[in-house]
Amino acid sequence: MTATSIGEFAIIACLLFGALFSVVGAIGLVKFDNPMTRLHAPTKVGTLGVGSLLLAAVLHAWVYGDGSMHQLLIVVFLFVTAPISANFIAKVSIHHKTCETPPPPAKDKTWATLDTPE
């Protein structure tokens, strides 16, 4: 087995993995009915799918060509911006009252802090 054939198998695996997760994300986007559940399909599963497809493009560029940093920069940008955009979409959904409001925090001093109970 040569390095090129190992690279080809890695590219095929990334393409299949990315296609599978992208299809699952698209089905979830269409199937879920409210914005908060619909939010998870493209941000979690879709990001993994698109990231895997871009990883296949990076591997292809390195196996068959000079290599390119463009695809790698797109992957980093995608993984940085997807959680931020999901957070903003969730906040808008909560403020417009299109979803069930989250429960109030517990009435103790240790909730969401680094304090330890006595």
Tens digits of residue pLDDT in 47-60: 888 889 988 988 89
Handedness of CA 66, 67, 70, 71 (dihedral sign): positive
Tens digits of residue pLDDT in 65-86: 877 788 888 888 888 888 888 8
DSSP per-residue codes, 74-112 = HHHHHHHHHHHHHHHHHHHHHHTT-SPPPPPPPSSTTTT
For helices 3-31 and 47-64, the axis angle rounded to 10 degrees is 160
pLDDT of residue 118: 60
Handedness of CA 76, 60, 41, 97 (dihedral sign): positive
Tens digits of residue pLDDT in 84-95: 888 888 888 878
Do the beta carbons of residue 39 and residue 86 sit within 8 Å?
yes
Q: Can you give the residue ranges of every domain in the chain?
A: 3-95
Q: Read off the pTM.
A: 0.71
